[in-house]
Amino acid sequence: MDYWRKSPKVFWSFGIPPTIWLFALFLAPLFLVWGLSFGEKQGIIEVAITGTLENYSRAVQPLYLQIFLKSFWYAGLTTFFCLVISFPIALAITSASERWKPILLLLVILPFWTNLLIRTYALIAVLRTNGYLNDLLELIWLSADSGLRILGLGDWNLFGERFHRFELLYNNFAVVYGLVYVHLPFMVLPLYAALDRMDRSYIEASLDLGAGQWRTFRSVIVPLALPGIISGVIITFIPALGSYLTPDLLGGTDSQMIANVIERQFKSANDWPFGAALSFLLMYLTFFALAVRALLTRHNEKGLA
Amino acid sequence: MKMNPKNNSRPSRRHFLRRLGAVAAGLTLLPREGWSAEEKKLNFYNWDTYIGETTLDDFRNDSGIAVSMDLFADNDELFAKLKEGNPGYDVIVPTNDFVERMIRANMLFKLDHSKIPNFKNIDKAFRDAAFDPKRAYSMPYMWGTIGIGYRKSKVSKVPDSWSTLFASSEYSGRIAVLNSPSETVPVAMKYLGHSLNTTDPAVVKAVEDLMIKQKKHIKVFAEDNGQDLLLSGEVDLTMEYNGDIIQVQEEDDDIAYIVPKEGTLLWEDCLCIPKGAPHPENAHAFMNYLLDGDAGALIADFIQYATPNSVAKAKLGDEYRNNPAIFPTDDVLGRSESSKYRGEAMQRLFDEAWTRISAA
């Protein structure tokens, strides 16, 4: 631990660049936006930082709180589905052979090599009314129907007279679907990391001592994977909360999330102070949720002790 | 001998490129000091598919000035980019209400008309403008309308009223409306029988109620990609810019465009030089080139928007000159208006109304 005392040059030469990075490219801009949130618009482009709280009092109006609530709901749903889908995927990767593991992990990371925008447009091509998914379903319907005809049941129209294409895009389902699709790797990776570290003998012991599969999963695997679950939930939930591209491109007329409102403040509404206040309110709410979560965990640990 | 520049094929996924262009624009350009003998470069900030196929190469062959073009998706993006200081653009293409806004915010460079002799090619109607008296800051580039693009085989009759989009359940779930308060709210005001420059908050409220009531029949508030939704069959009617619809008409002749009888919003995109432009001399030369009759004809022919350049227009065929989707009849023009800059307080009213519409 005293390493930095012994060779300070090495320490500083490794420590300073990331520190500068953090300050110049993250904390300083964040501070500017924070300052802006206490500003007032003066004319078209000038903003005076007056220390006013007007932006915040506007941001806690029921209209905006309702949109915040909706965003939390969407992000929560996304996180839930990601967790449910990712757990078996992560388990499968951990139990794969050493030769397959890197390949499977690569497949999980592969989507990141493509820009989010391109992936979202690809999703549009898949999901739209005349898209690939509906084409495929129609193909299945047609072959099933002709199968029936061969069996002499064609006149009964058991599957309906004709195939009705599903309207999969431009609704809230599409938004959550898109968010789950985009955030899945964020959940798989920490889960995999946690599960892969787990000592298999615990599972064997649990099974040997008479616990069933479900009991073993619930009382052994899940508690051991808990750190991975928590970090997965956090790094899925937070970016999902701030999504704006997905609701913008896949959502219907009622899919507005808070980030869409924030974006408009910086663009068409040209009200940067209010946009800054909304952004910080979102950040405070996120911190608050994390703090509550941390308190609960600590409480639980005490309860167990 | 004329050099034959590379033939770029037209991108068919415009909105997609638009956004990509916007991302790329954010990564480029640092301001440079201008000096008397300017380097042979120019930074042009334009809409996507809004220049002739060979225009930039032709200009370089003509003048030796290399143009690098970045793309923006809407006026708001353009404005937000320039608001905190010009990141290095020499020529920009804002729409009339934004020209006015930027003049008021002191963001534009006063033009030297002696360096733009081709201004004489411009139709008399465009040589002066309410938003920019005597054209001190802007040159007209293209103009047009917002109307309804629709699929002919899917409508019972020509949708000649805004009520088809704003107050009817006939095409429930088959409608796209622009997701843009500064276009959709004024057009809806027009539908309700008001001037689209009304500053009465009660009218904004009436538009809000109208849209909230109609929302269940509207499939999507589109990000200026209504033409693609129409082309892919996702919707049968869409509120869009005329040029966007005309461009997809070439791919599918079941698509048509109409300006509804209540009239509409007329827009005019202008060439301007933002303050802090590193190459103002080149910028004047480039603007002058774009207003040239031949160059203007090539551009208008390719992008199929209405040109204010009467020399360029005369060089083009009847198919262009007599296309009512490009040049609306005087009757339609008489019932339409162009947007004025409404002031920041109005901007906020519009945005709050739009937030409530989207949240409802």
Q: Is B23 on the interface with A (CB under 8 A)?
A: yes
User: What phi, psi does A87 have (nearest 5°)?
Assistant: -60, -55
Q: Would the CB atoms of A253 and B76 count as touching at under 8 Å?
A: no
Q: Where are the domains of chain A?
A: 58-109+180-299, 129-167
* Residue A208 CB coordination number (10 Å): 9
Q: One-letter amino acid identity for A255?
A: S
What local confidence, expressed as pLDDT, does residue A183 receive? Answer: 95
Q: Of B20, B76, B220, which has the smallest distance from its Cβ to A267's Cβ?
A: B76
Write down the mean pLDDT value for chain A. Answer: 89
What local confidence, expressed as pLDDT, does residue B9 receive? Answer: 40
d(CA A259, CA A67): 10
In this prediction, residues A195-205 reach a mean pLDDT of: 89
d(CA B105, CA B78): 14
What local confidence, expressed as pLDDT, does residue A154 receive? Answer: 65
Same domain flag for B224 and B256: yes
pLDDT over 60 (residue B17): no
Contacts of B221 (CB under 8 A, 6+ apart): A253, B176, B177, B178, B179, B358
Structural domain includes residue B210: yes
Residues in chain A within 8 Å Cβ distance of B359: 63, 66-67, 70, 254, 256
Between B38 and B12, residue with greater pLDDT: B38
Chain A residues at the B interface, defined by Cβ less than 8 Å, are 41, 43-45, 63-64, 66-67, 70, 117-118, 121, 128-130, 167, 169-170, 248-249, 251-254, 256, 260-261, 264-271
d(CA B225, CA A138): 26
Same domain flag for B166 and B23: no
In the structure encoding, which two tokens stand for residue A299, read together? Answer: 């409480």
> What is the band of B34 on the pLDDT scale with cuts at 50, 70, 90?
very low
Residues 53-92 of B with CB under 8 A from A: 74, 76-77, 79-80, 83
Q: Could you give the residue ranges of the DSSP H alpha helices within chain B?
A: 14-25, 55-63, 75-83, 96-104, 163-166, 181-191, 201-214, 226-231, 242-249, 280-290, 293-303, 310-314, 318-321, 330-335, 344-359
Same domain flag for B34 and B174: no
Give the structural domain span for B239: 145-265+328-359
Structural domain includes residue B246: yes
pLDDT over 70 (residue A125): yes
What local confidence, expressed as pLDDT, does residue B14 receive? Answer: 45
Residues in chain B within 8 Å Cβ distance of A167: 173
What local confidence, expressed as pLDDT, does residue A155 receive? Answer: 67
Same domain flag for B136 and B161: no
With beta carbons less than 8 A apart as the criterion, state whether B335 and B261 touch. yes
Structural domain includes residue B6: no
Q: Of A44, A121, A130, which has the smallest distance from its Cβ to B344's Cβ?
A: A44
Residues in chain A within 8 Å Cβ distance of B173: 167
d(CA B205, CA A225): 53
pLDDT digits (tens, 9 = 90+) for B276-324: 999 999 999 999 999 999 999 999 999 999 999 999 999 999 999 999 8
With beta carbons less than 8 A apart as the criterion, state whether A179 and A76 touch. no
Same domain flag for B139 and B211: no
d(CA A60, CA A234): 24
What H or E segment, with its residue span, contains residue A76? helix A62-95
What local confidence, expressed as pLDDT, does residue A164 receive? Answer: 84
Residues in chain B within 8 Å Cβ distance of A69: none
Prediction ipTM score: 0.87
pLDDT digits (tens, 9 = 90+) for A268-305: 889 999 999 999 999 998 888 888 878 877 776 665 54
Distance from CA of A223 to the nearest CA of B (A): 40
Q: Would the CB atoms of B351 and A268 count as touching at under 8 Å?
A: yes
pLDDT over 80 (residue A186): yes
In the structure encoding, which two tokens stand for residue A35, read together? Answer: 């300052």
pLDDT digits (tens, 9 = 90+) for B46-71: 998 899 999 999 999 999 999 999 99
Same domain flag for B18 and B118: yes
Distance from CA of A278 to the nearest CA of B (A): 13
Q: Would the CB atoms of B232 and A128 count as touching at under 8 Å?
A: yes
Structural domain includes residue B195: yes
**Domain end point (choices B306, B321, B336):** B321
Scanning the structure block, which residue is given the tokens 């300083």?
A28
Q: Is B234 on the interface with A (CB under 8 A)?
A: yes
Contacts of A64 (CB under 8 A, 6+ apart): A58, A258, A261, A278, A281, B355
d(CA A151, CA A158): 12
d(CA B117, CA B137): 15
Q: Would the CB atoms of A254 and B356 count as touching at under 8 Å?
A: no
Q: Would the CB atoms of B234 and A128 count as touching at under 8 Å?
A: yes
What local confidence, expressed as pLDDT, does residue A302 receive? Answer: 61
d(CA A128, CA A167): 7
d(CA B207, CA B103): 29
What local confidence, expressed as pLDDT, does residue B23 receive? Answer: 46
With beta carbons less than 8 A apart as the criterion, state whether A59 and A281 touch. yes
What is the greatest pairwise CA distance in chain A?
A: 87
Closest B-chain CA to A63: B356
Write down the mean pLDDT value for chain B. Answer: 89
Question: Rounded to 5, what percent of chain A is helix, strand, coil?
Answer: 75, 5, 20
pLDDT over 70 (residue B7): no
> What is the band of A156 on the pLDDT scale with cuts at 50, 70, 90?
low
Same domain flag for B292 and B335: no
Q: Of A249, A261, A270, which has the smallest distance from its Cβ to B347's Cβ?
A: A270
Mutation choice for A interface testing from B12, B19, B236 by most A CBs within 10 A: B19
The CATH number linked to B226 is 3.40.190.10
DSSP letter string over A233-267? HHHHHHHHHT--HHHHHH--TT---HHHHHHHHHT
d(CA A201, CA A204): 5
Q: Of B107, B182, B356, which has the smallest distance from its Cβ to A268's Cβ?
A: B182
> What is the band of B358 on the pLDDT scale with cuts at 50, 70, 90?
very high
Q: Could you give the residue ranges of the DSSP H alpha helices within A115-171?
A: 116-127, 132-150
In the structure encoding, which two tokens stand for residue B81, read together? Answer: 């980019």
Between B78 and A157, residue with greater pLDDT: B78
In this prediction, residues B127-132 reach a mean pLDDT of: 92
pLDDT over 50 (residue B15): no
Residues in chain A within 8 Å Cβ distance of B231: none
Mutation choice for A interface testing from B210, B355, B356, B357 by most A CBs within 10 A: B355
Q: How many domains does chain B have?
A: 2
Q: With CA atoms as reference, report the closest residue to B239 among B171, B135, B107, B148.
A: B148
pLDDT digits (tens, 9 = 90+) for A93-124: 998 999 999 999 999 999 889 999 999 999 99
> What is the band of B355 on the pLDDT scale with cuts at 50, 70, 90?
very high
Same domain flag for B137 and B189: no
> What is the band of B11 on the pLDDT scale with cuts at 50, 70, 90?
very low
> What is the band of B24 on the pLDDT scale with cuts at 50, 70, 90?
very low
Percent of chain A with pLDDT over 70: 95
Beta bridge partners of B66: B41
> What is the band of A46 on the pLDDT scale with cuts at 50, 70, 90?
confident
pLDDT over 90 (residue A236): yes
pLDDT over 60 (residue B13): no
Same domain flag for B149 and B226: yes
Helices and strands (H, E) in chain B, number of each type = 15, 10
In this prediction, residues B134-140 reach a mean pLDDT of: 96
Return contacts of A35-43, CB within 8 angstroms, 24+ apart.
A36/A272, A36/A273, A36/A276, A37/A273, A37/A276, A37/A277, A37/A279, A37/A280, A38/A273, A39/A272, A39/A273, A39/A276, A40/A273, A41/A271, A41/A272, A41/A273, A41/B344, A43/B105, A43/B344
What class is the A58-109+180-299 domain? mainly alpha
d(CA B226, CA B241): 9
Same domain flag for B163 and B251: yes
Residues in chain B within 8 Å Cβ distance of A269: 181, 347-348, 350-351
Sign of the dihedral defined by the CA atoms of residues A201, A204, A208, A213, in that order: positive
pLDDT over 60 (residue B2): no
Same domain flag for B190 and B254: yes
Residues in chain A within 8 Å Cβ distance of B344: 41, 43-44, 270
d(CA A149, CA A140): 14
d(CA B295, CA A159): 59
Q: Would the CB atoms of A167 and B182 count as touching at under 8 Å?
A: no
Q: Of B107, B351, B360, which has the smallest distance from its Cβ to A269's Cβ?
A: B351
In this prediction, residues B273-278 reach a mean pLDDT of: 95
Residues in chain B within 8 Å Cβ distance of A114: none
